[in-house]
Amino acid sequence: MRLALFQPDIPQNTGAALRLAACFRVPVDIIEPCGFPLDDKRLRRSAMDYGGACELVRHASWEAFIAAFRTAPGAGAPQRLVLLSTKGAVPYADFDFHAGDTLLLGRESAGVPADIHAAADARVRIPIAAEMRSLNVVVAAAIVLTEALRQQGIFHGKTAL
């Protein structure tokens, strides 16, 4: 299981995603360009001391990311790109997550372009009140990642990962 951030706009959200991933021992892919200078100072401030505990891979572009993703060894699990989207057809709780899934998060300001939406192997959504537009990207990531890990048997009792 991995998280992938597509051209993140907000350094605080990127730091929070790194903290989330560190706590659940999930690697993170950052697909550049970012909407801010991606440097240790900004990430350290928002990720606090968790950033160093997170496995982080930076990709110079979508093309570089997708090439690496499609050729990476799957470690026995099928690899799928699962986009979290308000336009997703399947509610996340009804989706059957696999250990090899990468959860793709769009830009805070614009989501992902249509071609990237189409490139995803699956698209899931979090049902919210009809009059609301969307959740914060990291809140959405936490909700879906927790369900995906639960389905993989990560959460049993009160044992730490």
Whether the per-residue pLDDT at 129 is higher than 60: the answer is yes
Instruction: List, for residues 71-120, the tens digit of each pLDDT value.
Output: 877 555 679 999 999 999 899 999 999 999 999 999 998 889 999 999 99
Per CATH, the number for 2-151 is 3.40.1280.10
Query: Rounded mean pLDDT of 115-134?
Result: 95
Cα-Cα-Cα-Cα torsion 53, 38, 11, 155, nearest 10 degrees, comes to -30
Which of 41-45, 123-127, 152-156 shows the lowest mean pLDDT across its residues? 41-45
Whether the per-residue pLDDT at 54 is higher than 90: the answer is no
Cα distance between residue 139 and residue 72, in whole Å: 28
Query: What is the structure's pLDDT at 112?
Result: 94
**Which SS3 state, helix, strand or coil, does residue 83 take?**
strand
Between residues 68 and 41, which one has the greater pLDDT?
68
pTM of the model: 0.90
Whether the per-residue pLDDT at 44 is higher than 70: the answer is no
Query: What is the structure's pLDDT at 42?
Result: 61
CA-CA-CA-CA torsion sign (127, 131, 133, 139)? negative
Query: What is the structure's pLDDT at 68?
Result: 92
Between residues 83 and 52, which one has the greater pLDDT?
83
**Which SS3 state, helix, strand or coil, does residue 130 take?**
coil
